[in-house]
Structure 1
């Protein structure tokens, strides 16, 4: 059996706030759909479930804690996966909106975006002519004038509200190399304790591009800044999901998949659900001779507080 440090943690990001209902019927919208797909993804091999909520009638991303509480208890009762709640929400939400569900749920993990950026989705709108809901097209097109705010003050507020108050640890989402330096600065100020968990993200317009040279550069930079005091994972957006996950696994890292990041299973083929993507990346990892981490192994690797210490 592989040493714990050699195990691959699979994160599955189920629904997010990037894709809209028109783009895929597989995208989970209602509490039942989110819970069912979360349970199936965990059974397929995901140790961590990264969760957003959506309005069940329109599919629009929602920060409402009541919506989260419709699926969080069901997930916890059914499986032992680590629940990771967004603090990113969507760039149309205020910071208070983005924090509300996480503060109420007190999860083991939360995502935390490590810098303000352009987060541009507008090119996707050109691919569709008929929309299921009126909000979808303007939501995407208006992102060409949007700023996804994550200032140092915002980052500290999220840490104080969750890390300090509730022992939550973070998936530090780094969309560019400068975000690694932002995290290093925060660690120097005592805001986060090692081992920190980096999610290196490639392929979002406004962030670092989806070139494998950039992955090598991000990894070398993280080595220089954090030494042995970090764990890392990779997210490739859209068609780059599986190639970047494969490269990360080859390099000894962890991986993230899910319909938040890509709607596809392969070239020209929409994924039927989140579990399909998890199963595919698990096959890739295991064909390399690596072993997939269980939820409890992920908790040990990342120093999490455990599922008995959450608020749902």
Structure 2
């Protein structure tokens, strides 16, 4: 089965302004973009939620009602699709993400596996935003994992640096991931300015620090530099993710009109590496997801 490549589409992201970029906001827009990505080969939709009020679509939402509307619309548009729900939030108040998990019961949810100084510097030496900490201490990770266990949701461990990859091994050793939630899954996030760079040579080294029998994918943030690393991911046996959350640019440098074009380009990476794009059913087997989840109501 490892010759199968799971494709994930990150549909919209956190703060991108829909007045400037073609990111979906409403349930109907999310469903239409998901359908295009699904038809291009994506088995999994990574879902962020946006405020639905007029003029507020650039801001995130943790309203369970919004979560239900968006997820139900995606499931209706893409029969059999796997939902991967975001959970990333700064601070100790995680009630919103937990309420959304409990409401929509996604098959997968992101589990940010460690803290990061989230920084970006401009050419003139000024901070792009005030320096901040994306805080994910072990106690917070455990809170998320406890609710994922309660709802039988598979965690995808988001790793922004190599130390976080190694921390996941400690979580497994400590028994924080229960076997019924599937195989350990790492998501290597590359391209955040203060995290791991988007670098094919670095990517090739990291799997040695992952748990045995785990699954991994790369999330690559940037422009032209991401596509050779996507290709390297495919060649190394990793799973592939792209979408308007991660990039606006196709391999030829053109700006993508939507998520479907980005997923079609990922599928080509898989095929060039001699791999077949996994169906949703095959993705469930590879990740060890619960068999009944495909029919889970919103």
* Same fold? TM cut 0.5: yes
Distance 1:268 1:65 in 2: 37
Q: Which deviates further from its counterpart, 11-20 or 168-177?
A: 11-20
Query: For residue 237 of structure 1, what is the aligned residue in structure 2?
Result: 221
Instruction: Specify the alignment match of 2:136 in structure 1.
Output: 150
Q: CA deviation at 1:216?
A: 1.8
Structure 1 residues 173 and 249, CA gap change in structure 2 (3 angstroms): same
Report whether the alignment pairs 1:220 with 2:183.
Answer: no
Corresponding residue for residue 295 of structure 1: 280
What TM-score, normalized to structure 1? 0.85
Answering whether residue 199 of structure 2 is matched by residue 211 of structure 1, we say: yes
- 1:238 is paired with a residue of what secondary structure? coil
Q: Is contact 1:116–1:151 with CA below 8 Å preserved after alignment?
A: yes
Aligned to 1:12: 9
Structure 2 contact 34–77 (Cα < 8 Å) conserved:
no
Q: Do the aligned residues in 1 keep the contact of 2:158 with 2:189 (CA within 8 Å)?
A: yes
Pick the aligned partner of 2:237 from 238, 252, 259.
252
The answer to which of 95-104 and 275-284 deviates more is: 95-104
Question: Conserved in 1, the CA contact under 8 Å of 2:82 and 2:294?
Answer: no
Query: Which runs of structure 1 show a deviation greater than 6 angstroms over 4 or more consecutive aligned residues?
Result: none
**TM-score, length basis structure 2:** 0.89
Map of 2:39 onto structure 1: 43
- The structure that is helix-richer by fraction is 1
Gaps (5+ residues) in structure 1?
Answer: 127-139
Alpha-carbon spacing, 1:298–1:123, altered in 2? closer, same or farther (3 Å): farther
* 1:119–1:146 contact (8 Å) kept in structure 2: yes
CA contact (8 A) 2:98 2:144 kept: yes
Between the aligned partners of 2:150 and 2:121, the Cα distance in structure 1 is 37
1:27 is aligned to: 23
Aligned pairs for 1:1-312 (under 5 A) are 4-24=1-21, 26-56=22-52, 57=54, 58-59=56-57, 60-79=59-78, 80-88=80-88, 90-91=89-90, 94-120=93-119, 123=122, 141-142=128-129, 144-162=130-148, 164-192=149-177, 193=179, 195-222=183-210, 226-227=211-212, 229-239=213-223, 240-266=225-251, 268-305=253-290, 306-308=292-294, 310-312=296-298
Q: Which SS does the other structure have where 2:187 is aligned? A: strand
- For 1:271 and 1:93, how far apart are their aligned partners in 2? 36
8 A Cα contact 2:185 2:216, kept in partner: yes
Moved more, 7-16 or 55-64: 55-64
1:41 Cα offset (Å): 0.7
Taking the aligned partners of 2:141 and 2:185, their CA distance within structure 1 comes to: 15
Tell me how far 1:246 sits from its aligned partner: 0.7
Cα offset for 1:296? 0.5
- Structure 2: how far apart are the matches of 1:122 and 1:33? 33
Q: What's the C-alpha RMSD, in Å, of the aligned pairs?
A: 2.2
